[in-house]
Amino acid sequence: MKIMMYAHGGSLNRGCEAIVRSSANIIKERIKGVSVYLTSGKPDTDKCIKALDGIYDGSPCMIKRYSCDWLLSSLRVKLFRDESYALRKIENNTIKHIKDMDVFLSVGGDNYCYGEQPALYEIDKKVKEQGKKLVLWGCSIGEEDVSENTLDDLKLFDLILARETLTYNMLINKGLTNVKLCADPAFTMEKEELELPEGWQEGNTVGLNFSPLVWKRNKKSQEAVRDLINHILNTTDMTIALTPHVIADGNNDYEILSRYYEEYKETGRVIILHDHLNAIQYKGYIARMRFFIGARTHATIAAYSNCVPTMVLGYSVKSKGISKDLFGEEKLVLGIEEISDSNKLIKAFNEMISEEIQIKHQLHLSIPNIKKKSYKAVEYLRELVE
């Protein structure tokens, strides 16, 4: 059986890498004789994922101006407001592989959280037109993200695997009958422990991840995070390890974290991790932290899965849903509007310190069950194909 993962932008987003890497591993572990392939927007960035049997260029194809395809696309858009022909030509790098595969997994987790996805809709239609199995793999979707077009697309899937209960319940309430509950595959991902950098305090280092995506949505949050750094330096003896997790052009955590590093490096208690590490290497560092504060979901999953007390600078349903499944409540998750409030950040940090033992205890109880739910996704997949 041949499985193709698609809707993957590349592994400069280490969260996307974590999904693909861990998914390929658990699928191959539980389904014998399977081959797993990937179409990627940046295939050169995915060569570090050794479990894949093939990596293909899935980047968009440009339609040459005044070509036959360009003229036909323009005519259909002008006369019928129909973009489907153009979108299928643009996504041909993925669509051309459908005939050779048995199952298509739409990965990426939160692709449906960022408005309409007409290009994905066309890929999904082509998969079903050719009679292949279609699976939405480990998704999070907010109710505000489900338009009529989105709902029509979701109905095409043979199986939708929601990675947390908020998404699962919402989709069930929308009347979908093809939904199962699982957990993010990255909870199962291995880690690689590299040498600790100079300035790291073993057992007394707090990780801090912040992203341009969050900063752009709440411009005042950057100053509030600075206030939090000052609070940590003034009231504790901990080292702060600035931890990037997405290093893509235009969305680079390292760039924004470097500003904090330059501002505070003279304290001797603020360090920054390299921007060339892969997902398992970042996880190796995060696993050895005492606490973690993160905006990127898969950086927080790396912390949770190693029972590191974690404070989430959340901006979508995925952060809330994952925390709720771990703790029975949205524990230490601050919404996008809250993270510009220095007092709320500091209060949540102090709460994390005061409840350190209880939080670690709860994670030790929850993580084994969450990992079982990650593997449950493979069971549902196997049931579908067998």
Question: d(Cα 103, Cα 92) in Å, to the nearest integer?
Answer: 17
258: pLDDT confidence band, cut at 50, 70 and 90? very high
Identity at 95, one-letter amino acid code? I
Q: Is 276 helix (H, G, I), strand (E, B) or coil?
A: coil
Residues 83-115 as b/e (b if ≥16 CB within 10 A, e otherwise) read bbbbbbbbbbbbbebbeebebbbbbbbbbbbee
The pLDDT tens digits for 46-69 are 999 999 999 999 999 888 887 877
Q: Locate tokens 């001797």: which residue? A: 268
Query: Which pLDDT belongs to residue 315?
Result: 65
Q: What is the pLDDT of residue 147?
A: 95
Nearest alpha-carbon partner for 164 in 187, 147, 191, 144: 187
Q: What is the pLDDT of residues 181-193, one digit of tens each?
A: 999 999 999 999 9
In which region does residue 363 sit, left (phi positive, over 0), alpha (psi from -120 to 50) or beta (all else)?
A: alpha
Q: Is the pLDDT of residue 307 over 80?
A: yes
Q: What's the pLDDT at 96?
A: 97
- Asked if pLDDT for residue 325 goes beyond 80, the answer is yes
pLDDT at 116: 87
Is residue 46 within 8 Å of 52, Cβ to Cβ? yes
pLDDT of 86 > 90? The answer is no
Q: Is the pTM of this model over 0.85?
A: yes
For residue 137, what pLDDT is reported?
98
Q: Which of 162, 131, 137, 123 is nearest to 27 (CA)?
A: 137
Assign 70 a pLDDT band (cuts: 50, 70, 90): confident
Quote the CA–CA distance of 19 and 11 in Å, as a whole number: 10
Position 111 pLDDT exceeds 80: yes
From the CB of residue 9, how many other CB atoms can be counted at a distance below 10 Å?
A: 17
Query: Can you read off the two tokens belonging to residue 297?
Result: 């979901």
Mean pLDDT of 321-330: 95
Structural domains in the chain, sorted by start: 2-181 (3.40.50), 205-369 (3.40.50.2000)
Mean per-residue pLDDT, 80-97 = 87
Nearest by Cα to 38 from 2, 14, 5: 5
The neighbouring-strand residues paired with 135 are 105, 159
Residue 76 pLDDT? 72
CA distance 164 to 323: 9
Closest C-alpha to 328, from 353, 359, 352, 351 = 359
| Beta strand residue intervals within 103-147, DSSP E | 103-106, 133-139
Report pLDDT for 110: 86
Contact between residue 225 and residue 206 where contact means Cβ atoms under 8 Å apart:
no
User: CA triplet 284, 290, 295: central angle to 5 degrees?
Assistant: 70
Mean pLDDT across the chain: 95
Q: What is the pLDDT of residues 187-236, one digit of tens each?
A: 999 999 999 999 999 999 999 999 998 888 898 999 999 999 999 999 99
Of all residues in the chain, what percent carry a pLDDT higher than 90? 85
